[in-house]
Amino acid sequence: MSPRRQGLPPLERDGLADDPIDQLAAWWEVAEREVPLPDAMTLATADADGAPNARMVLLKGFGPEGLRFFSNYESAKGAEIEARPRAALVIYWRELDRQVRARGPLHKLTEAQSDEYFASRPHGSQAAASASPQSRPIEREELDRLFAEARERAGDGPTARPGHWGGYALEPEEMEFWQGRDNRMHDRFRYTRDGNGWRIERLAP
């Protein structure tokens, strides 16, 4: 049993928030202090044939509109989201032996929200987002050339957010909070959308 897990009390129904976003906020506060990369998460989408695709992205905030992340709209995941705007997310905090899962529909963030986040990125990351034809076959030399041209156009200043890049929010219809315990007798609670509220159930590990 890890030292982190030793310090965590068992997960009980009466200790959970009534809303899963509030529960995520409580766990996030701990993860920000204890986990080296708390915002890393797996995003799963499906292609035109229904075959799943999964990759790591970064959680860039959450609130009433859902869990937010950013991407190239013309990437493989962008095309899959456009065709099938639903996804699943998994956040795993090894140091805390905790996992959060979410499933639901996706929608694009507003241009203002995407502009605000893009402006906060380092200039090199801005240029890379502008230059990279994400998910398409390319030689390294061509990729480096596109990046160098983007940096040259921007000079020492920021790069304007390209129209093919922006944010999404997953609006959860279902969220699960998992916490490890000894002997694999883990605690699992699932929130399921129920009208304007949430139904909360303990699940067997």
Q: Which residue intervals of 54-99 are DSSP H helices? A: 76-83
Domain boundaries, the chain: 3-120+164-203
Structure tokens at 113: 């929200």
205 residues of the chain, pLDDT tens digit each: 444 455 678 899 999 999 999 999 999 999 999 999 999 999 999 998 999 999 999 999 999 999 999 999 999 999 999 999 999 999 999 999 999 999 999 999 999 999 999 999 989 899 888 888 888 898 999 889 988 988 888 887 888 899 999 999 999 999 999 999 888 899 999 999 999 999 999 999 9
C-alpha closest to that of 125 among 145, 154, 82: 154
Domain 3-120+164-203 has CATH 2.40.160.10: no
Pairing of strands 62-63, 66-72: antiparallel
pLDDT digits (tens, 9 = 90+) for 130-157: 888 888 898 999 889 988 988 888 887 8
Q: So which residues are the catalytic ones?
A: 184
Q: How far apart are CA 158 and CA 167, in angstroms?
A: 18
pTM for the model stands at 0.89
State the pLDDT at residue 190: 98
